Amino acid sequence: MANKYIDTSILDRAMHFAIDAHANTERRGKGFPYSVHLMEAVEIAATITSDQEILAAAALHDTIEDTDVTLEQLRSEFGDRIASLVEAESDKFANGFSEKDSWIERKQAAIVRLANAPYDAKIVAMGDKLSNMRAIARDFERIGDDLWKIFHAPNGKSDHEWRYHKLAEALFDLAGTPAYREFVMLVEKTFGKKDYGEPVKIDLADYEHSGEGYNAVSYNHNGGHSMIKLYAETVSAEQPLRELRTAKNVFRMGLPTPMPGRFITDGKRYGCEFSRVVDKKSFARAISENPDSMERFATEFARMSKQLHSTVCNPAVFPSAADEACKVVEKATIFTDDEKKKVIDFVKSVPSAMTCLHGDLHIGNILYSSLGNFWIDLADFGYGNPLFDLGMTYWISKCNMDETTMRLYHINNEKMQEIWEIFLREYYGTDNPEKLAEYEKQIRPFAALKMIYFGVVNGHEQFIRENLLR
C-alpha cells in the first residue's frame, strides 16, 4: 500500500537549508554530525503536531545561534512565522542580555522568554530540549559526573539541574504530550526529583472560572493548556502542597491523571496547577447533561475503581488509610475516650491490603475525554483495604442532603442512588440482593469514618454512632 501523500515541501527545504548551514559540524562530544540532532528535534516535534511550518522551525532551530545564518536570512527564505518560531526558541534573543552576561543570567532570561512564548514556539523548543535531555541522560549513565566538564556552566551539574527543572516549568503547556512526560522523566532520572518551594504568584485575569468543589474553585488558563485549583482562604498551604506531591507520585506510577505543575497563590489563597484535559467532563457532569448515559458511566466508574484497587501501592511513598483513620478518630470530639478506643480497635481489625486507594472516590473525581479517563483530586491518595474507598462512594451516594448532591454533582439524590446500585453490582459482579445488602452493611462503617476524616460530622452524628459503635 502506497504511503499517504503529504505536502512536505517547506519542511524538505528547511531540512536541506539546516543541513547545509551545519555542514561539517560535530554534535558536541558525540562524534556524529550536528544534523542528527536537528532530525531528532523534528521527529519529537512531529509527535505533537503535523504543522509543517513548526516542523521546519524545529529543523532550523539552531541555525541563527550556532551558524552564520541571520534571522533576516531566515525571514527572507522561509517567511515571518518560521523565523519568529526560531527566534522565540533561541537563547540568543533574550532581551537585554549578551555573551558578556553570566551563564546563569543568560539562561534565566531565555527561560523566562520561553515561558511567555506561544504554544507553537514551545513545540519547537520541546524538540530541541528533549533531544538534548536524551543525550545528557545517556551520557550521564555512561560517564557520570565527568559529563559536566564538556559544558560551559560554571557550577557543573547543579547549574544544569536548575536549568532543566526550570525548562520543565516553562514548557508546562505541553504537559499533555508524551514528549513532555519523557522530558520530565529524564530530568528526574538524571538530576533527581524536585520538591516545591515558595508558591508562584498568578494573575487571575489570565484565567476563567470553570467550576467549584467542596473547598476549592477551579479556573482554566486563557491559553487553554493548563488549569488551576485554588483552595478556600481558610485552607492552609499544606493542603495544596500535599495534593501536588501526591499527584506527582501518582503520575510517576503511570496511573491516568493530569500532570501536576506549580504550587501557586493569588495572594490570598493557595493552590495547584495541572495540565488541562481540554475536552473533559467529570462523570457527574456527563450524567447530569445526559441522563441516558448513567448506566455507561456508573459501570465505567466501577471498572476504573476495581482497576485502581487491584494496583499495588508503595507504602514508602503513600500513607496508610487505616493509620490516617486512626489519627482523625483520636482527634474527634464526637466520641468519649472509651468510644475512640472501640472505633480504633475496629479500624485495626480491618484486613490489611497494599492496594491503591483514591481517598476521595466519587463520580466528580474522575474525568472522561477523547484521550481517556483521568483521576483527579488526589490529595488523599493512599493504600489499604478498598472498603475505605467504597465508604466515600457510599457517603456521597446515600447520605447527603439533596441540595448538597445537586450543588456538588449536578444530579439529585434519587439519581445518585441509582448510580450507586449500578456501581455496587458492577464492582462486586453480582445481582443477588442479599449479597449486595451484605456488602452495603460492610461498607457503612467506612462511610462514617470518611465523614469524620473530612470533618463533615454535623447532620451525620446518628449515622456515625450507629455504624461505628454498634
What is the per-residue DSSP string for 392-411? HHHHHHHTS-HHHHHHHHSS
Q: Are 377 and 392 in contact (CB under 8 A)?
A: no
* Same domain, yes or no: 287 and 268: no
Total-model pTM: 0.78
SS3 content of the chain, % helix, strand, coil (to 5): 55, 10, 30
312 is a domain residue: yes
* Same domain, yes or no: 223 and 365: no
At residue 265, the 3 state secondary structure works out as strand
* Same domain, yes or no: 295 and 269: no
Q: For 234-278, how does the pLDDT look when each residue is reduced to its tens digit (9 = 90+)?
A: 999 999 999 999 999 999 888 999 989 999 999 999 999 998 887
Q: Are 263 and 196 in contact (CB under 8 A)?
A: yes
Give residue for cell 547543579: 158
> Cα 404 to chain center, whole Å?
28
Choose the weakest-confidence range: 9-23, 81-95, 257-271, 367-381.
Answer: 81-95
**In this structure, what C-alpha cell is assigned to residue 131?**
533531544
Give the mean pLDDT of 322-348.
95
Query: How far is residue 389's CA from residue 334's CA, in Å, rounded to a whole number?
Result: 22
For residue 85, how many other CB atoms are within 10 A of its CB? 28
Q: Which of 219, 245, 275 is the last residue of a domain?
A: 275
Q: Is the pLDDT score of 454 beyond 70?
A: yes
Residue 236 domain boundaries: 200-275
Q: Is 99 exposed, middle or buried (0-12, 13-18, 19+ CB in 10 A)?
A: exposed
Question: How many residues appear in the chain?
Answer: 470
Q: Considering the chain, what percentage of its residues have pLDDT values greater than 70?
A: 97
Query: How far is residue 193's CA from residue 59's CA, in Å, rounded to a whole number?
Result: 31
* Same domain, yes or no: 341 and 256: no
Choose among 91, 69, 93, 71: nearest CA to 82: 71
Query: How far is residue 241's CA from residue 258's CA, in Å, rounded to a whole number?
Result: 16
What pLDDT score was predicted for residue 165?
A: 92
Q: Are 285 and 368 in contact (CB under 8 A)?
A: no
Give residue for cell 505541553: 174
Q: Is the pLDDT score of 348 beyond 70?
A: yes
- Supply the CATH number for residue 222's domain: 3.30.200.20
* Same domain, yes or no: 398 and 432: yes
Q: What is the 3-state secondary structure (H, E, C) of 203-254?
A: CHHHEEEEEECCCEEEEEECCCCEEEEEECCCCCCHHHHHHHHHHHHHHHHC
Give residue for cell 558536541: 28
Taking the chain, what is the end-to-end CA distance rounded to the nearest angstrom?
A: 71
Q: For 126-158, how does the pLDDT look when each residue is reduced to its tens digit (9 = 90+)?
A: 999 999 999 999 999 998 988 888 887 788 888
Q: Are 275 and 259 in contact (CB under 8 A)?
A: yes
* Same domain, yes or no: 244 and 333: no
Handedness of CA 192, 195, 199, 202 (dihedral sign): positive
Q: Which of 275, 297, 332 is the last residue of a domain?
A: 275
Q: For 56-92, how does the pLDDT look when each residue is reduced to its tens digit (9 = 90+)?
A: 999 999 998 888 889 999 999 999 999 999 998 887 6
What pLDDT score was predicted for residue 458?
A: 83
Q: Is the pLDDT score of 303 beyond 60?
A: yes
* Same domain, yes or no: 285 and 268: no
63 is a domain residue: yes
4 is a domain residue: no
The count of structural domains within the chain is: 3
Q: How confident is the model at residue 197 (pLDDT cuts 50, 70, 90)?
A: confident
20 is a domain residue: yes
Residue 51 identity: D
Q: Is the pLDDT score of 94 beyond 60?
A: no
1 is a domain residue: no
Give the mean pLDDT of 92-100.
59
- Supply the CATH number for residue 157's domain: 1.10.3210.10
* Same domain, yes or no: 424 and 300: yes
Q: For 392-447, how does the pLDDT look when each residue is reduced to its tens digit (9 = 90+)?
A: 999 999 999 999 999 989 999 999 999 999 999 999 999 999 999 999 999 999 99
Cβ density class 333-352: b for 16+ within 10 Å, e for less: ebbeeeebeebbebbeebee
At residue 446, the 3 state secondary structure works out as helix
* Same domain, yes or no: 183 and 239: no
* Same domain, yes or no: 261 and 286: no
What pLDDT score was predicted for residue 2?
A: 62
β-bridge partners, 270: 265
* Same domain, yes or no: 59 and 169: yes
140 is a domain residue: yes
Long-range contacts of 188-191 (CB under 8 A, 24+ apart): 188/252, 189/137, 190/133, 190/136, 190/137, 190/140, 190/164, 191/157, 191/160, 191/161, 191/164, 191/165
- Supply the CATH number for residue 400's domain: 1.10.510.10
Query: How far is residue 270's CA from residue 15's CA, in Å, rounded to a whole number?
Result: 46
* Same domain, yes or no: 261 and 288: no
Q: Is 47 exposed, middle or buried (0-12, 13-18, 19+ CB in 10 A)?
A: middle
Give the mean pLDDT of 338-347.
96
At residue 320, the 3 state secondary structure works out as strand
What pLDDT score was predicted for residue 194?
A: 85
